[in-house]
Homo-oligomer: A and B are copies of this chain.
Amino acid sequence: MLSRMTTSAEPVGFIGLGRMGQPMARNLLKRGFSLIVHNRSRTAVEVLAELGAETAEMPAEVARRARTLITMLPDGPDVEQVFAAERGVFSALEPGTLLIDMSTIAPATTRVLAARAAEAGATLLDAPVSGGEIGAVDATLSIMVGGDRHAFDRARPLFEAMGNPERIRYLGPSGAGQICKACNQLVIGGTLAAVGEAFALARKAGVDPAVVREALLGGFAASRVLDVHGERVLAGRFTPGFRTALFAKDLRIATDALGASGVPAPVTALVQQLVTTLIASGGGDEDYSSLGTLASRLAGLPT
């Protein structure tokens, strides 16, 4: 699929070259998009420059040179900084620019930034992803998009360079992508915490949790969490992947959104406390699947 965005005359800006952003930017280059990249630390910028990307010193410079601009940053304050700081994106925003924020941030923050973009004649999509570092590297991410429908159509070739085309979904107006991502994270959290309790019960009762996992995968308790994370939990492999500290941030976004919506969500609130417990005991830098070991740890079982 050819797009006017694929010509080098109209490069795509990319700000945020971390664990997720760097492989996503690489996949855009592989698909023939030309990039102008910026990152707070220079190392990642140099890696992309060697692969053919142009570089920019400031977010404002990216905004000046690119009519399409992707951001992939750890948290809401990072996104606000890149957009609204003195030499940020908003300081140099041209009318007609398409902003695509693929970070996972609060829906309320997304909506505020989208409104500011609209005042300048630009459009902001929220397009958080799921699938982790592996999904970013393999270009198999799920992408959950909120904002203007025509802007979504315009951005689709970019999304298809980074994600699984069947898992690129338009959810609704600004913030709907972030709401969907919050739903995704809270469902994963509830499932993972329950799987951890099941494994602890099996172990304490002298039943092999690996056989329980296999039995459960054949029935209604089957889930990707039980399959993929369950396997990691039983193998004790917690090299991230996706750090528990970032999962805690996502659950905070979910509970904030739930609270703002007036939805009582005791399971999500509890899972957030369990993740806080996990971090307090030193697990913040492990892969978040280690939440599935918490019940065993608290029961004094070796994990």
> A residues bordering B, Cβ < 8 Å?
107, 130-132, 142, 144, 164, 166-167, 169, 171-173, 175-176, 179-180, 182-191, 193-195, 197-202, 204-208, 211-212, 214-216, 218-226, 228-229, 254, 257-258, 261-268, 270-271, 274, 295-296, 298-300
* Minimum CB–CB distance for A163 against chain B, Å: 10
- Name, among A176, A205, A296, the residue most crowded by chain B CB atoms within 10 Å (CB to CB): A205
Q: Which B-chain residue is minimally distant from A189 (CB atoms)?
A: B194
Partner of A201, one of B221, B263, B299: B263
Beyond A183-B199, A184-B215: 4 further Cβ-contacts under 8 Å?
Answer: A142-B219, A183-B216, A197-B265, A262-B300
- 7 intermolecular pairs with C-beta atoms under 8 Å apart: A144-B215, A166-B218, A171-B215, A190-B195, A204-B261, A220-B228, A267-B270
Chain B residues within an 8 Å CB radius of A132: 220
Q: Are B173 and A206 in contact (CB under 8 A)?
A: yes
- Report how many copies the assembly holds: 2
| Chain A binding surface, main DSSP class | helix
CA distance A201 to B219 in the complex (A): 27
B267 touches A267 (CB 8 A): yes
Bound form: Cα–Cα A285–B9 in Å: 65
- The answer to whether A198 touches B176, judged by C-beta atoms less than 8 angstroms apart, is no
Pick the most buried of A187, A221, A261: most chain B CB atoms within 10 A of its CB. A187
On chain B, the residues within 8 Å of A188 by CB distance are: 220-221
Q: Given the complex of chains A and B, what is the CA–CA distance between A205 and B111 in angstroms?
A: 12
In the bound complex, residues from chain B placing their C-beta under 8 Å from that of A257 are 201, 205
Bound CA–CA A207/B186 (angstroms): 16
- Contact: B184 with A219, CB < 8 Å? yes
A221 touches B265 (CB 8 A): no
Residues of B within 8 A of A298 (CB): 263-264
Q: CB distance A193 to B267 under 8 Å?
A: yes
Q: Which residues of B contact A169 (CB under 8 A)?
A: 211, 214-215, 218
The 8 closest A-B pairs by CB, nearest first: A190-B194, A223-B223, A183-B198, A204-B261, A167-B218, A197-B265, A187-B221, A142-B219
Pick from B172, B225, B268: contact of A223, CB below 8 A.
Answer: B225
